[in-house]
């Protein structure tokens, strides 16, 4: 049983935050995204993250990583089914199926690199806050800026 959440109070109270309510609504929907491949999301430092995905059986050429509109899309496409047809499995526990995994990125989060090691795909991310949005210290002077301007204009 799924219950729906009403976000209309947010729209009334928080001007300009309607995109956050949309993101929460999208995340709360029963998405049909499979749990394959399994992944971890790590916080490496204050503004650095790493997504690690278990991609056993995929080569670098069969993987595609795309970042667009605050969404990171990782796609794995198996190309060679001929070698699989020649092999006879008694048990196949390593899934070699195609996948697409989407991650919603926060504002100013950029992909800075990716690498494959020991069957794990690692994608490094970093939040780069523009200088205009960073907090800044305001110096306290003896006079207000308006008083300084008028005293300069009087002399």
Is a pLDDT exceeding 80 seen at residue 9? no
Average pLDDT value for the chain = 79
Phi, psi of 82 (to 5 degrees): -65, -45
Under DSSP, is residue 85 helix (H, G, I), strand (E, B) or coil? helix
Query: How does pLDDT run across 89-121, given as a tens digit for each residue?
Result: 888 887 778 999 998 888 889 999 999 999 999
> Is the overall model pTM greater than 0.75, yes or no?
no
**pLDDT of residue 14 exceeding 70:** no
Q: Rounded to whole angstroms, how far apart are CA atoms 36 and 68?
A: 22
Residue 35's pLDDT is 79
Query: What tens digit of pLDDT does each residue of 117-139 get?
Result: 999 999 999 988 777 777 888 87
Q: What tens digit of pLDDT does each residue of 42-96 get?
A: 999 888 999 999 998 888 999 999 998 888 999 999 876 655 567 788 888 877 7
* DSSP structural state of residue 70: T
- Report the distance separating Cα 137 and Cα 128, nearest Å: 19
Q: Tell me whether the omega of the peptide bond preceding residue 106 falls within 30 degrees of 0, making it cis.
A: no
Instruction: Write down all domains in the chain, each with its CATH number in brackets.
Output: 1-32 (no CATH), 36-154 (2.60.40.790)
């Amino acid at each position: 049983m799924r219950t729906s959440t009403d976000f209309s109070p947010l729209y009334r109270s928080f001007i300009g935050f309607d995109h956050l309510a949309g993101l929460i609504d999208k995340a709360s929907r029963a998405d049909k995204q499979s749990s394959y491949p399994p992944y971890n999301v790590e916080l490496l430092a204050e503004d650095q993250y790493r997504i690690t995905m278990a991609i056993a059986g995929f080569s670098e050429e069969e993987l595609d990583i795309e970042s667009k509109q605050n969404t990171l899309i990782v796609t794995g496409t198996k190309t060679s089914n001929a070698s699989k047809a020649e092999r006879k499995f008694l048990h196949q526990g390593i899934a070699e199926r195609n996948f697409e995994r989407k991650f919603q990125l926060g504002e100013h989060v950029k992909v800075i690199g990716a690498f494959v090691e020991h069957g794990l795909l690692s994608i490094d991310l970093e939040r780069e806050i523009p200088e205009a949005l960073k907090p800044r210290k305001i110096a306290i002077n003896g006079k207000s800026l308006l008083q300084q301007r008028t005293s300069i204009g009087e002399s």
